[in-house]
Structure 1
């Protein structure tokens, strides 16, 4: 767990996403859109390949926040999906979540300024995380 002091850097965390993870997420979420499992269909609709579910990617951000904050209350968590996370047939896509603790606001909440990338390219934009700690 990271000390949640304004200005503190958050240790970057990296999560691997495999095709098996996408199958498991589809079962758990009920989202069986074939762009998340079938290469041919993903390519046919103009995607660069099979892509991770956006909400799965955001859930990884939630895992990072939990690792950094311990038992702090997460008041808000959100982001815009700005680029797909392409998951190769072999190996994994590597999502990295990094950032810093912002200044406590008038409500006593701490914002976390995050950057979510795959191979250095931003995949989630305008991430907003507020925690009560």
Structure 2
């Protein structure tokens, strides 16, 4: 289900996405990514290096923002460009609850080349965790009404 250009407008909001993040998620991501830095699983180490606690991998947080956009487009291949700046870590408590990442987005521009710029917000514990997050997505052209002719 690719988005059609005629179906969206500048200012349209993407459906919000709230994602719970637990320590178990961090362990799984570490295994998939190969990033076993102890700041992502060892509370003592994380606080010794000045962090408020164990933090989610930045690329994990970025992937959640990418999920917001790709779920909206309906096809991950329609996400042409995607970038973020990491502004704050997502601190994941070892309390059985963890953290929640709240994601939102809106259509910032619709371009003549059939693409749209999407701005993305990501928050955890009431604070922004990504800055300058945006994506460029491909839009499908609207199909003209089919003509019916007798053969």
TM normalised by structure 2 equals 0.82
Q: Quick check: 68-77 or 28-37, which moved more?
A: 68-77
CA contact (8 A) 2:109 2:117 kept: yes
1:89 partnered with 2:76: no
CA-atom RMSD in angstroms: 1.6
1:61 partnered with 2:65: yes
Give the ranges of 4+ consecutive aligned residues of structure 1 lying more than 6 Å apart after TM superposition. Answer: none
Query: Unpaired segments of 5 or more residues in structure 1?
Result: none
Q: Quick check: 5-14 or 120-129, which moved more?
A: 5-14
Q: Quick check: 50-59 or 2-11, which moved more?
A: 2-11
Q: State the Cα distance separating 1:7 from its structure 2 match.
A: 1.9
In 2, Cα distance between equivalents of 1:118 and 1:105: 31
| 1:98-128 superposed Cα distances (whole Å, 9 cap, x missing partner) | 1211221243210111111113210000012
Tell me the equivalent position of 1:79.
84
| 1:10-49 superposed Cα distances (whole Å, 9 cap, x missing partner) | 1211111100000000000000000000000000000000
Q: How many residues align?
A: 133
More strand by share: 1
In 2, Cα distance between equivalents of 1:45 and 1:121: 21
